[in-house]
């Protein structure tokens, strides 16, 4: 591995499977080279753009709602402005990418994992298929960065 | 008589989603309902039966933008039930954490959500390419706020280091010192931001607002204080339930707050400024003066200037705390649960946030009541909209929709726990 790497988990803890991205980052703590920066974000584009500024590689994990089976891991996914992400906020990864582009602050390489959620209800627990997808995604990231 | 119902694109630049329904007959608005907010009743129910230690962490999840506000109101409510007061350097650290959240939240609203309204862009992202210098300043401010929250809160979102009585761990002075440099730069950026937004073109609109904000004898109230109203009344936080009543109204899921029997008061940046501007730091006060703000600002569009002034104050005060910091002897004061009722209020970036808890003798939550700022402002935002819409019912739909969106965004409503998508439905005959 070379250059600066950041791993950014997006989501919210209050809405069930929306926490998938955050949980991936939490499960990666202590298991990656110390040079890898791990960040959790609610999806605020200014925060995301700041987090990946100057990085050679940014890996972003977000919950997805595309109609696929819950627990499906979309690799190298590209979010659309409204349909892709089931977000508890109006702003999200698509905005962060657009903002990064406008400010010339995109990472050298951007790798996006989308984890298809099943239940985004208030205070719902993360569902079993999404738990499995969190482990699968964390393994894939460890493999890439280990 | 023609009848039209038109659906228009969402209020994209408020945090969350919602809907606005307007019905007009013969040039008069007969009905106007803004559905932007789902009160956190779900969380109030969830808290019952939980330990007194849990509300700070559980309620922090209500909002991804202002979790610290929820933590601070929750902690102070529970501490007041137990007769505990957090003072000295521990209180300073709470303030420092809160200033971090203020800087972050206001920077998001100023640069990405509100400024595009004045510069004619559809979104902050669309504005970014043409105004890179300003957006870069916004990013630097966000970063300074984020570092404060991450250092004090233990992580950047949903901070985990806050507890009833104080913190789990307090920073060493050498951990805070590096933040000062970033804050000094942020303070300069904040001053530039005040100058920038003060030059915007503001619609010439003023409302006769009835303001409510906390007031503190020694500071521009953020962390704590007593509710004060612009009509001259004031009351201790413990009397909140006697003054502020939330009630269900027909055809709306949202609770409508009434202050001493009357709906439609305003909390938030304009209210804080009107009631407390003399307690801003000298630098923030002079920035406000230079920006042309009088002692009271009743133009909701100018709230962007007030927020920028508040960012100057937050940077300035955060620096003062860091420079004078001595590490507390203990990370938290001892807390012994006793049965009782506690009230706590703080100034979230969007306005006064009140919590009340009844705790039983085992230290379990028997009752929880949370009154967030946006629920309080709901009626007032509808009044702003009604006044704005009525003289402009003949405007093309898209223009009218844009005007409504701006009127809502002026108050930076926090609707992030809402699951609706916002749409504007105008039914005019």
Per-residue pLDDT of A94-111, as tens digits, reads 889 999 999 999 999 999
The answer to whether B125 and B135 are in contact (CB under 8 A) is no
Interval A76-91 mean pLDDT: 49
Q: Do A43 and B64 touch (CB under 8 A)?
A: yes
Q: Of B13, B135, B146, which has the smallest distance from its Cβ to A47's Cβ?
A: B146
Q: Are B374 and B268 in contact (CB under 8 A)?
A: no
Shortest CA distance to B311 belongs to which of B179, B154, B144, B164? B144
Confidence of residue B421 (pLDDT cuts 50, 70, 90): very low
Res A79: pLDDT: 61
Distance in Å, alpha carbon of B141 to nearest chain A alpha carbon:
10
A24 CB contacts (<8 Å, ≥6 apart)? A9, A61, A113, A115, A134, A137, A138, A141
Mutate one of B157, B159, B189 to test the A interface: name it (highest A CB count within 10 A).
B157
B156/A14 touch (CB, cutoff 8 Å), yes or no: no
Mean pLDDT of A76-80: 64
Cα(B150)–Cα(B112) distance, integer angstroms: 22
Mutate to test the interface with B, among A63, A82, A91 (most CBs of B within 10 A): A91
pLDDT surpassing 60 at residue A85: no
Nearest CA in chain B to A13: B61
Angle between helices A45-52 and A93-102 (to 10 degrees): 60
Can you give the pLDDT at residue B32? 85
Q: Is the pLDDT of residue A1 over 60?
A: no
Domains and CATH numbers, chain B: 4-38+393-428 (no CATH), 41-378 (1.10.645.10)
Whether B196 shows a pLDDT value over 70: the answer reads yes
The most confident of A61-70, B266-275, B418-427, by mean pLDDT: B266-275
- Closest CA–CA distance from residue A123 to any residue of chain B (Å): 9
What single DSSP character describes residue B108? I
Mean pLDDT over each residue of chain A, to the nearest integer:
86
Q: Is A46's CB within 8 Å of B417's CB?
A: no
Collapsing DSSP to helix, strand or coil, A140 comes out as helix
Q: Tokens 């923030």 sit at which residue?
A: B284
Reply yes or no on whether the pLDDT at B418 is more than 60. Answer: no
- Residue B122: which pLDDT band, with cuts at 50, 70 and 90? confident
* Tens-digit pLDDT profile for residues B2-19: 333 333 333 334 434 567
CA distances from B192 to A99, B16, B324 (A): 21, 29, 26
> Which residues of chain B lie closer than 8 angstroms to A95, CB-CB?
123-125
**Which residues make Cβ contacts (< 8 Å) with residue B241, sequence separation at least 6?**
B343, B356, B369
Q: What is the mean pLDDT of residues A119-144?
A: 93
| Percent of residues, chain B, with pLDDT higher than 70 | 90
For chain B, the average pLDDT equals: 88
The predicted-structure confidence for B36-46, as pLDDT tens digits, reads as follows 656 677 888 88
Tell me if A40 and B156 make a contact (CB, 8 A cut-off).
yes
In CATH terms, is domain A5-145 a member of 3.40.50.1450? yes
Residue A102 Cα, gap to closest chain B Cα (Å): 5
Structural domain boundaries of chain A? 5-145
pLDDT of A83 above 60: no
Check B416 against A89: CB less than 8 A apart. yes
Say if residue B182's pLDDT is above 70.
yes
Is B157's CB within 8 Å of A95's CB?
no
- Please answer yes or no on whether A103 and B15 come within 8 Å at the CB atom: no
- pTM exceeds 0.95: no
Phi, psi for B71 (deg, rounded to 5): -65, -40
pLDDT at residue A121, rounded to an integer: 79
Nearest chain B residue to A46 by CA distance is B139
For residue A87, the model assigns a pLDDT of 38
Does residue B328 register a pLDDT over 50?
Answer: yes
Residue A131 clears pLDDT 90, i.e. is over it: yes
């Amino acid at each position: 591995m070379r250059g600066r790497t950041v791993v950014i988990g997006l989501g919210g803890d209050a809405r069930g499977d929306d926490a998938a991205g955050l949980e991936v980052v939490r499960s990666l703590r202590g298991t990656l080279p110390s040079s890898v920066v791990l960040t959790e974000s609610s999806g605020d584009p200014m925060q995301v753009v700041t987090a990946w500024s100057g990085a050679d590689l940014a890996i972003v994990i977000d919950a997805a709602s595309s109609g696929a089976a819950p627990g499906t891991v979309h690799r190298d996914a590209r979010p659309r402005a409204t349909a892709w992400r089931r977000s508890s906020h109006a702003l999200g990864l698509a905005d962060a990418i657009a903002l990064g582009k406008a400010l010339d602050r995109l990472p050298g390489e951007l790798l996006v994992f989308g984890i298809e959620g099943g239940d985004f209800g208030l205070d719902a627990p993360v569902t079993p298929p999404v738990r499995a997808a969190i482990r699968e995604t964390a393994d894939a990231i460890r493999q890439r960065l280990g | 008589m023609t009848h039209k119902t038109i659906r228009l694109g969402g209020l994209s630049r408020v945090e969350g989603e919602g809907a606005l329904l307007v019905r007009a007959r013969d040039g008069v608005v007969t009905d106007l309902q803004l559905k932007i907010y789902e009160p956190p009743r779900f969380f109030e129910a969830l808290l019952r039966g939980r330990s007194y230690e849990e509300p700070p962490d559980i309620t922090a999840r209500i909002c991804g933008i202002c979790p610290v506000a929820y933590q601070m109101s929750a902690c102070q409510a529970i501490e007041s039930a137990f007769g505990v007061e957090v003072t000295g350097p521990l209180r300073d650290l709470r303030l420092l954490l809160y200033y971090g959240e203020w800087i972050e939240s206001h920077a998001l609203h100023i640069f990405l959500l509100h400024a595009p309204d004045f510069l004619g862009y559809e979104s902050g992202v669309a504005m970014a390419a043409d105004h890179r210098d300003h957006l870069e300043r916004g990013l630097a401010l966000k970063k300074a706020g984020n570092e404060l929250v991450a250092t004090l809160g233990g992580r950047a979102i949903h901070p985990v280091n806050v507890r009833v009585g104080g913190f789990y761990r307090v920073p060493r002075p050498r951990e805070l010192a590096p933040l000062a440099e970033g804050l000094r730069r942020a303070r300069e950026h904040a001053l530039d931001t005040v100058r920038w937004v003060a030059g915007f073109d503001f619609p010439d609109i003023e409302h006769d607002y009835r303001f409510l904000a906390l007031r503190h004898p020694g500071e521009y109230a953020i962390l704590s204080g007593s509710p004060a109203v612009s009509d001259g009344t004031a009351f201790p936080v413990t009397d909140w339930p006697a003054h502020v009543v939330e009630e269900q109204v027909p055809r709306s899921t949202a609770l409508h707050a009434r202050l001493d029997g009357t709906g439609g008061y305003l909390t938030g940046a304009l209210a804080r400024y009107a009631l407390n501007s003399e307690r801003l730091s000298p630098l923030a006060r002079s920035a406000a003066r230079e920006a042309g703000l009088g002692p009271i600002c009743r133009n909701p569009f100018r709230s962007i200037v007030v927020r920028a002034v508040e960012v100057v104050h937050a940077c300035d005060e955060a620096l003062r705390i860091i420079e004078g910091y001595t590490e507390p002897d203990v990370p938290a004061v001892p807390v012994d649960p006793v049965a009782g009722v506690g009230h706590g209020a703080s100034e979230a970036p969007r306005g006064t946030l009140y919590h009340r808890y009844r705790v039983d003798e085992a230290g379990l939550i028997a009752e929880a009541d949370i009154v967030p700022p946006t629920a309080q402002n709901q009626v007032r935002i509808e009044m702003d909209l009604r006044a704005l819409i009525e003289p402009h019912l003949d405007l093309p739909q898209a223009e009218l929709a844009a005007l409504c969106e701006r009127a809502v965004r002026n108050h930076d409503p926090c609707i992030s726990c809402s699951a609706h998508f916002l749409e504007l439905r105008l039914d005019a005959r």
